[in-house]
Amino acid sequence: MRPSLIDYEPFTGAGSEVPYGPTNPALYNETEQYIQEYGLQNVTVPINLVSPSESGLDPDITPESALVQIPRVAHFSNLTQAALLQIVTTAIVQPLGGFIGPQYIDVISLDQTLIALLGGNVPLTPAAPSG
């Protein structure tokens, strides 16, 4: 998921808010908050994962943005990182004709795959350790 300037409410004036400028200290604070919220300390975080979407409704992320989240999703879902890596790798949409546009992942489709795999039981807290 990616932060939204419109709090994921498409009918409240999508695109009307102006994001913080690069010298605004609030931008740094907000970015740090997202990094902590995603549990991504000590990793290189793709900028589009923590920078707000102007439209608030971007259903796509870069493969790097999905891959960096695998440990967190594995922790919450009790799925193995290897299984999640295979799911994410399979979800990568290649550029048109192999070179027009970037690779991306349709987050909605990926989420639907994970929900189906989890039998509709999507954990909101970390899974209890098995064993």
- Could you say which of 27, 56, 85 is where a domain stops? 56
| 45 and 77 assigned to the same domain | no
Question: How far apart are alpha carbons 43 and 35 in whole angstroms?
Answer: 10
CA 47-53-58 angle, 5° bins: 105
- Could you say which of 22, 39, 56 is where a domain stops? 56
89: left (phi over 0), alpha (psi -120 to 50) or beta: alpha
Query: Among candidates 80, 91, 1, 74, which has minimal Cα distance to 37?
Result: 1
| 73 and 106 assigned to the same domain | yes
pLDDT, residue 46, reads 87
91 vs 32, 72, 86, 108, 118, CA distance in Å?
Answer: 28, 18, 9, 11, 17
Question: How far apart are alpha carbons 50 and 1 in whole angstroms?
Answer: 9
| 27 and 11 assigned to the same domain | yes
Range of the domain at 5: 1-56
pLDDT, residue 105, reads 94
pLDDT, residue 85, reads 97
| 72 and 106 assigned to the same domain | yes
Ordered mean pLDDT values, 10 residues apiece, the chain (131 residues): 55 56 79 84 84 71 93 90 96 90 92 88 58 45
Q: Where are the alpha helices (DSSP H) in 21-80?
A: 25-37, 47-50, 63-67, 70-77
pLDDT, residue 131, reads 45
pLDDT, residue 130, reads 47
| 38 and 84 assigned to the same domain | no
Question: How far apart are alpha carbons 123 and 78 in whole angstroms?
Answer: 9
Model pTM score: 0.71
- Could you say which of 56, 76, 100 is where a domain stops? 56
Count structural domains, the chain. 2
| 47 and 20 assigned to the same domain | yes
